[in-house]
A and B are shown apart, each in its own frame.
Chain A
Amino acid sequence: MRGVISIHSYRGGTGKSTITANLAIALAQLGYRVATIDLDLSSPGLHVILNVNQSSLKGTLNDFIYGRCTIEGCVLDLTDHLGLASGGLMFIGSSMKPEEISQLMKKDYEESLFKRIAFEVDRKFGVDYLIFDTHPGLVEDTLLAVLSSDLSLIVMRMDRQDISGTFLLAKVLRRLNKVFYILLNMVPPEMAQMPELKEDVSNALKAPVLGLIPFYDEVLSHRSKGAFILRHPKHVFSTTIYDIAKTISSW
């Protein structure tokens, strides 16, 4: 496996899951085998962007954690479903059943669980990249996902709440000696034109900025009806995601 990536943010609504889904598809379209896992255990939603119904999940991450299914039983191969001509895209969803969310929130699990899941997925399906879509904030589940990853992307809007929280996340990840990058999303168009913006953010947060995605009405209007990159591959949002995928794959 080339790497485990966790996509994270301090606050919700930053476009983390949208970026996860689109980045996973972009990497697959570059010819890689990618697996993505919904680790937003208390509010799963990645399946919606990937056009998967909860009822069509044979098994979920919850089932795997509680020994109700094997890793093969909860991995869904979306390569044909999404019409991907190259690479591959595997998906593990989390349960939206209230009792199962509650069960998982109450019970602890082993420290190396996410590392073991990544290992198992790679062993059974041979993936190049595994991407965790995490729950926002400085919560234990997310911290364990980040600790199990080779690289973390912190998605940040140019909002004061996000900036301040991202500064905190950056400090924590530095303390843990983790490799991470900031990804600016939904940047107001006039601000996105400032040539110094990426450098200023990088200096202020003492962290490298991997990319800058301006706010686009078209992405908002798309309303998570499938992955934007598949519907509008030539849109600047999509081409920016492809550039980020190419950068990651060049490492």
Chain B
Amino acid sequence: MDKVEEGSKGREFAANLLRGMEIDLGEIDDALSSFEAKLNSLEERISSLEERVRKLETSIKGEREDEGSNLDTLL
């Protein structure tokens, strides 16, 4: 049967690993900002495409209604 041995230092080992790491936090902030900028630009492109699709749909719908009323006149 396995037991936790007295003097086990797993967490201490992990904590020491973390303590020994120097991380440039500014680099994280910069990466987040540039990634956000990219996402925003992608979102804007999608919004603009969606807007174009909406306009096209409205225009097609309008043309169909016109055709319908022309047909009514003819009939």
- Chain A residues near B (Cβ < 8 Å): 64-67, 69-71, 107-113, 116, 120, 138, 140-141, 143-144, 147, 158, 160, 163-164, 167-168, 171-172, 175-176, 190-191, 193-194, 196-197, 200-201, 204-205
Contact with A along B3-19 (1 / 0, CB 8 A): 11100111111110110
Q: Is B56 an interface residue (CB 8 A)?
A: no
* Chain A interface, >50% SS class: helix
Complex CA gap A120/B12 in Å reads: 24
CB distance from B38 to the nearest CB of A (A): 6
Interface range, B side: 20 to 34
B38 touches A200 (CB 8 A): yes
Residues of B within 8 A of A109 (CB): 4, 8, 10-11
> Which of chain A's residues has its CB closest to B12's CB?
A108
**A-B Cβ contacts below 8 A, count:** 95
CB distance from B19 to the nearest CB of A (A): 11
Q: Is B43 an interface residue (CB 8 A)?
A: yes
B8 touches A108 (CB 8 A): yes
CB distance from B34 to the nearest CB of A (A): 7
B18 touches A67 (CB 8 A): no
A196 touches B42 (CB 8 A): yes
Complex CA gap A154/B29 in Å reads: 19
- Chain B residues near A (Cβ < 8 Å): 1-5, 8-15, 17-18, 21, 23, 28-29, 31-32, 34-36, 38-39, 42-43, 46
CB distance from B53 to the nearest CB of A (A): 13
> Which of chain A's residues has its CB closest to B32's CB?
A164
* Chain B interface, >50% SS class: helix
CB distance from B48 to the nearest CB of A (A): 13
CB distance from A166 to the nearest CB of B (A): 10
> Knowing A164-B28, A172-B21, A200-B35 touch, does A140 contact B8 (C-beta < 8 A)?
no
Q: List 7 A-B contacts (CB under 8 A).
A: A65-B4, A108-B4, A110-B5, A143-B18, A163-B35, A164-B29, A172-B21
CB distance from B55 to the nearest CB of A (A): 18
A167 touches B2 (CB 8 A): no
CB distance from B3 to the nearest CB of A (A): 3
Residues of B within 8 A of A163 (CB): 32, 35
CB distance from B27 to the nearest CB of A (A): 8
Complex CA gap A140/B10 in Å reads: 8
> Knowing A200-B38, A204-B35 touch, does A144 contact B4 (C-beta < 8 A)?
no
